[in-house]
C-alpha cells in the first residue's frame, strides 16, 4: 500500500500541452478514477505515473520518495492496458508469472503464485491455455492477474473494460472493486464512462483539457458539480443561467420558474444552475400555464427510467421518470416544465 502525491504536473508534446498544473493526493488503498473525454490527458497522467512518459515539470512522490527518478521497470507498478497487451508468445500461466520470472522468483514458486492469482480472478484450470484462445472477459482477467502478480505498490488501469459488452463490463467492474478492496492496493483507473467511474471509484478526478476540473467522491461530483463542464459530463443536462430576484422569484429569460428555495433562496442576481433530469416535472399545457413550455423532441426507454428530451427555442431540457408509469407525452407534444428548485445546484464557477 502506498500514497501518491502529484504536485503541479505539466506535460507538453511539442507545442501541445496535455497536462496543466495537475495536483492530486491519493491515499493508501484508495481507488481513484480519472474521468474525462478523449484527449483530456487522463491516459497521459497514468502513463507518467507508470513511467512510460516523463512529465515536463512537476513533482511525483510515492510514500514521500521522488518517483520521477525511478525507471519504469523499477517502479513496481502493475498496469492493465486498454489493449490488454498480453504476451502472445506465452500461455495464460506464463503471462501471469512473467513479472515474477523477471524478478528471479523460482519456477515452482511462480507457478504456485500464478495459479493462486488465476483462482482469484476465476480462471483456475486455464494455466496452460494459449492467451490467443481466451474470450474477451478471460483476457481481461489474465491482464489483471498479471499486473497484480508482482504485488504492485500502485495498480493502474487504462480503460480496461472499454472493449467489453455492457453486461460483462458491469460484472468485471464489481469484481475489480472487490479485488482491490481485498488487496488494499492503491489504484488509479482511467475511464471516459461516468457510470463506470461512479460505480467503482472511492474518488473521481474529472479532467478537462489537461486540467483537474473537480476531484471528489462520486456523490460530490454527481450532486455538487463545481463547474459547468463537470455538471455536463456527469449527466446534468439542465444547465442554464437563471435570474433570482430580490423577492426570491426565479426566472429564465423572463419566464417564471418558481420561488427560490434551498441554496437558491440565499442568492439574488444571475447564476448558472443545474437541475438533474429527475427533478423536472412535465405537465400538460393549459390556458393557465405561465411557466416554461417546451416541445417534446424525443422519448426513450432506458430500462428503469424513461427519458424525455424537450426543446424551448434553442435550449434543450431532459426529464426522466421511472419507467413503471406510461409516458404522458409523445414526440411533438407540448409540455410545461416544472423545476424542483429545492434540488437546483448553483454552479460556483
Partner 1 sequence: MGDPVMKHLKPAHFIGLFPLSLMGLFFLGPLAFMIVVSFYERDPLGFYNVAFVWDNYAKFFSSFYYTISMRSIWSSALGAVLVVLLAFPAMYIITDMQRRWQLFWVILLLSLMCLSEVILGFAWLILLSESSGIPKFLGWVGLWDDPRSLSPSFAAMLIGFITLGFSLVALMFYPQMAQRDRSIEEAARTLGTSPPRVFTKVVLPNYRTGIIGAVVTMFVYFLGVFVMPTMLGRPQDWNMTVIITDKAVGDANMPLGAALSVIMLLFTLLIIGTLLFSSRKERSS
Q: How far is the CB of 28 from partner 1 (least distance, A)?
A: 20
Asked if 98 touches partner 1 (CB under 8 A), the answer is yes
Q: How far is the CB of 217 from partner 1 (least distance, A)?
A: 29
Q: How far apart (Å, rounded) are the C-alpha atoms in residues 158 and 176?
A: 13
Per-residue interface string for the shown chain with partner 1, residues 224-263, x marking contact by CB under 8 A: ----------------------------------------
Q: How far is the CB of 16 from partner 1 (least distance, A)?
A: 15
Nearest to 81 by CA among 35, 29, 146: 146
Question: Between β-strands 249-252 and 31-35, what pairing exists: parallel, antiparallel or unpaired?
Answer: unpaired
Q: How far apart (Å, rounded) are the C-alpha atoms in residues 108 and 112?
A: 6
Nearest to 273 by CA among 343, 186, 173, 216: 343
Q: Is 35 helix (H, G, I), strand (E, B) or coil?
A: strand
Q: How far is the CB of 17 from partner 1 (least distance, A)?
A: 20
Asked if 81 touches partner 1 (CB under 8 A), the answer is yes
Q: What is the DSSP letter of 221?
A: H
Q: How far is the CB of 13 from partner 1 (least distance, A)?
A: 12
Asked if 56 touches partner 1 (CB under 8 A), the answer is no
Residue nearer to partner 1 on the CB measure, 43 or 236: 43
- Which region, judged by CB under 8 A, interacts with partner 1, from 112-120, 144-152, 314-322, 330-338? 144-152
Asked if 31 touches partner 1 (CB under 8 A), the answer is no
Asked if 68 touches partner 1 (CB under 8 A), the answer is no
Summarize the chain as % helix, strand, coil (round to 5): 30, 35, 35
- Binding-site size for partner 1 (CB under 8 A) equals 28
The three cell numbers of residue 180 are 482491490
Q: How far is the CB of 79 from partner 1 (least distance, A)?
A: 4
Asked if 77 touches partner 1 (CB under 8 A), the answer is yes
Q: How far apart (Å, rounded) are the C-alpha atoms in residues 299 and 113?
A: 52
For the four alpha carbons of 276, 278, 280 and 285, in that order, the dihedral sign comes to positive
Q: How far apart (Å, rounded) are the C-alpha atoms in residues 290 and 292?
A: 7
Q: Which residues bind partner 1 (CB under 8 A)?
A: 50-52, 71-79, 81-83, 85-89, 98-99, 102-103, 146-147, 150, 156
Amino acid at each position: 500500500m502506498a500514497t501518491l502525491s502529484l504536485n503541479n504536473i505539466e506535460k507538453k508534446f511539442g507545442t501541445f500541452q496535455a497536462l496543466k498544473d495537475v495536483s492530486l493526493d491519493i491515499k493508501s488503498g484508495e481507488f481513484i478514477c480519472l474521468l474525462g473525454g478523449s484527449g483530456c490527458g487522463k491516459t497521459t497522467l497514468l502513463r507518467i505515473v507508470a513511467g512510460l512518459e516523463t512529465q515536463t515539470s512537476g513533482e511525483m512522490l510515492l510514500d514521500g520518495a521522488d518517483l520521477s527518478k525511478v525507471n519504469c521497470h523499477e517502479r513496481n507498478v502493475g498496469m492493465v492496458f486498454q489493449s490488454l497487451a498480453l504476451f502472445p508468445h506465452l500461455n495464460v500461466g506464463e503471462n501471469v508469472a512473467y513479472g515474477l520470472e523477471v524478478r528471479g522468483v523460482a519456477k515452482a514458486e511462480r507457478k504456485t503464485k500464478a495459479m493462486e492469482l488465476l483462482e482469484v480472478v476465476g480462471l483456475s484450470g486455464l494455466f496452460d491455455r494459449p492467451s490467443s484462445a481466451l474470450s474477451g472477459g478471460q483476457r481481461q482477467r489474465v491482464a489483471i492477474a498479471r499486473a497484480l502478480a508482482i504485488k504492485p505498490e500502485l495498480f493502474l488501469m487504462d480503460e480496461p473494460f472499454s472493449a467489453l459488452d455492457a453486461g460483462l463490463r458491469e460484472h468485471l467492474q464489481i469484481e475489480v472493486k472487490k479485488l482491490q478492496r481485498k488487496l488494499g492496493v492503491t489504484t488509479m483507473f482511467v475511464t471516459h464512462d461516468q457510470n463506470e467511474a461512479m460505480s467503482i471509484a472511492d474518488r473521481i478526478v474529472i479532467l478537462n483539457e489537461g486540467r483537474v476540473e473537480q476531484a471528489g467522491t462520486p456523490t460530490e461530483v454527481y450532486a455538487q458539480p463545481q463547474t459547468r463542464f463537470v455538471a455536463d459530463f456527469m449527466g446534468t443536462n439542465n444547465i442554464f443561467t437563471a435570474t433570482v430576484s430580490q423577492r426570491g422569484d426565479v426566472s429564465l429569460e423572463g419566464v417564471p420558474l418558481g420561488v427560490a428555495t434551498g441554496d437558491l433562496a440565499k442568492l439574488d442576481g444571475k447564476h448558472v444552475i443545474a437541475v438533474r433530469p429527475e427533478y423536472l416535472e412535465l405537465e400538460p399545457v393549459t390556458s393557465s400555464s405561465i411557466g416554461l413550455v417546451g416541445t417534446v423532441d424525443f422519448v426513450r426507454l432506458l430500462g428503469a427510467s424513461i427519458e424525455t428530451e424537450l426543446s424551448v427555442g434553442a435550449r434543450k431540457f431532459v426529464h426522466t421518470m421511472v419507467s413503471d408509469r406510461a409516458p404522458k407525452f409523445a414526440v411533438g407534444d407540448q409540455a410545461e416544465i416544472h423545476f424542483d428548485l429545492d434540488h437546483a445546484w448553483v454552479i460556483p464557477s
